[in-house]
Amino acid sequence: MKTDQSHVFNTTRWHNTCLMAESGKGIYVYDSEGKTYLDAIGGTHVISIGHGVTEVADAMAEQARQLCFIHKAQFTSEPQEKLANVVTTMAPEGMDRVGFVTSGSTANEMAFQIALYYHKLRGKASKYKIISRWHSYHGHTIATLAMTGSRFVRESLSPFDLLNFPHIQAPHCYQCPYKLTYPSCELTCANELARIIEQEGADTIAAFVAEPIIGGAGSAIVPPPGYYEKVREICDFYDILWISEEVITGFGRTGKNFGVDHWAAIPDIITATKALSSGYAPIGAVIVHQRVREVFDNATKNIPLSLFTYAGHPISCAAALAVQNYMAKHNLIERCAVMGKYLKHQLEKLAEREPIIGDVRGEGLLIGIEFVKNRDNHQPFSRSLGITEKIMQVGLENGLILRGRFGTGVGVDGDHILISPPFIITESQCDELVEKLELTFKQVKQSLKLVEVC
């Protein structure tokens, strides 16, 4: 369908034809022309259990028949209570309460407001700023845009002034912003957090927000060992909450329940959405540690947090509950870790054959590929070549759904893609993914006449 024939207002579509997705099964999506696509990004890092799981569809239909909606001001619902039990059981120790919202943006917005109230209720109302990192994306509401580090996104509303929240460098070892090497760097990137707190004044800072493994805006940037242990120490010292932003990494995507489980440190708040309901219904979770929750328990009046009408929607909760039960029944988080190792290894082998690949990184089925002109000094390609966009376009023509380079922060302004298929992917499907990727890279290099450059 031509986009000018569609009445849908969609300004993010990046080509002239509007592909009509008709159905999905497992890791594949089919369009109205009968073309098959291998969804290498699980619908932007959302889909964990695959398309077409009848147990989930049945649970949603049953809930719709039973009770379609109820507001949280007076009521809770059975699927919400059951889901809260499952989520808090999966969460790190001491994180014993969860609030449900509708998306990643609303989850981060709620975490931000919890941080403000937490300090206010303890008589520290001057603490309102959130420190975040360049190379991050936290959503598209006004507060979450202010947290976001991607300049491409931040500057989109200019000249509207976003809240002036401070940002620090991302822990990007492959393109270290300090030109240092781990471990002799002594975690300069984490210590930067203490420096910026001192500079701004600890009495103005409410929280530090960070994706444990940076997703879309950086393509699976994994911080070095010790990074979050250091973050925990710094946050405790300055009385600052640490929000682990797990919109992508939460609920198994990295091969553990939460991305932060790869480090020996427990945050104060976790926000998570995508793999929670595997895309069957919109829902987000804000998981709170008991030390934060206790401050709210002691409050004498009602606090107007998360008044979103659809927060805790019974059908979304029923969908997420069915998804999490399905994940547990089929050991899909363990499977994600195993298949992630296999796929990463195949991509590393591809990197040996393909000189434009500079780095393959990530955990579980969250794998980033960074493209470089020069592997020796990690020099990126000129952005004017639009390598990532070309790879996404040619990949689509080859029946491979890809996504990458969701705008970057300061420092590296290179090309990268993020691979994040559903956890049910098999070894032979991983091989198919890698084959299509290799073909796509070859065709893009030919079309851009890059063959002689690399």
The least CB distance from residue 384 to ligand PMP, in Å, is 26
| DSSP-assigned letters across all residues of 101-124 | ESSHHHHHHHHHHHHHHHHHHTT-
The residue count for binding ligand PMP (CB under 6 A) is: 14
Residue 215 or 380 with smaller CB distance to ligand PMP: 215
The least CB distance from residue 40 to ligand PMP, in Å, is 16
The least CB distance from residue 113 to ligand PMP, in Å, is 15
Work out which of 127, 135, 138, 344 binds ligand PMP, going by CB under 6 A: 138
Residue 355 or 368 with smaller CB distance to ligand PMP: 368
Residue 104 or 395 with smaller CB distance to ligand PMP: 104
Quick one: tokens of 45? 């890092």
Q: Which helix (H) or strand (E) holds 284?
A: strand 284-289
The Cα–Cα gap between 86 and 452 comes to: 54
Site string for ligand PMP, 381-410 (x = CB under 6 A): ------------------------------
Residue 242 or 441 with smaller CB distance to ligand PMP: 242
Site string for ligand PMP, 41-80 (x = CB under 6 A): ---x------------------------------------
The least CB distance from residue 214 to ligand PMP, in Å, is 8
> Which residues 6+ apart lie within 8 Å of 290 measured at CB?
94, 95, 96, 97
Site string for ligand PMP, 292-331 (x = CB under 6 A): ----------------------------------------
Residue 279 or 355 with smaller CB distance to ligand PMP: 279
The Cα–Cα gap between 410 and 287 comes to: 30
The Cα–Cα gap between 333 and 366 comes to: 12
Work out which of 39, 109, 192, 211 binds ligand PMP, going by CB under 6 A: 211
> Which residues 6+ apart lie within 8 Å of 403 measured at CB?
41, 44, 216, 392, 417, 418
Residue with tokens 């990184």: 361
Residue with tokens 């946050």: 235
Span near ligand PMP by CB under 6 A; candidates 26-34, 160-168, 209-217, 392-400: 209-217
| DSSP-assigned letters across all residues of 298-354 | T-SS-------TTTT-HHHHHHHHHHHHHHHHTTHHHHHHHHHHHHHHHHHHHHHH-
Are residues 43 and 279 in contact, defined by beta-carbon separation less than 8 angstroms?
Answer: yes
The Cα–Cα gap between 20 and 124 comes to: 52
The Cα–Cα gap between 244 and 166 comes to: 17
Are residues 107 and 101 in contact, defined by beta-carbon separation less than 8 angstroms?
Answer: yes
Span near ligand PMP by CB under 6 A; candidates 119-127, 134-142, 201-209, 391-399: 134-142
3-state secondary structure of 168: strand
The least CB distance from residue 243 to ligand PMP, in Å, is 11
Work out which of 77, 273, 324, 388 binds ligand PMP, going by CB under 6 A: 273
Neighbours of 411 (CB within 10 A): 15
Any contact of residue 363 with ligand PMP (CB under 6 A)?
Answer: no
Work out which of 137, 326, 423, 441 binds ligand PMP, going by CB under 6 A: 137
Neighbours of 137 (CB within 10 A): 30
Site string for ligand PMP, 233-262 (x = CB under 6 A): ------------x-xx--------------
What does the binding site for ligand PMP look like in residue numbers (CB under 6 A)? 44, 103-105, 137-139, 211, 215-216, 245, 247-248, 273
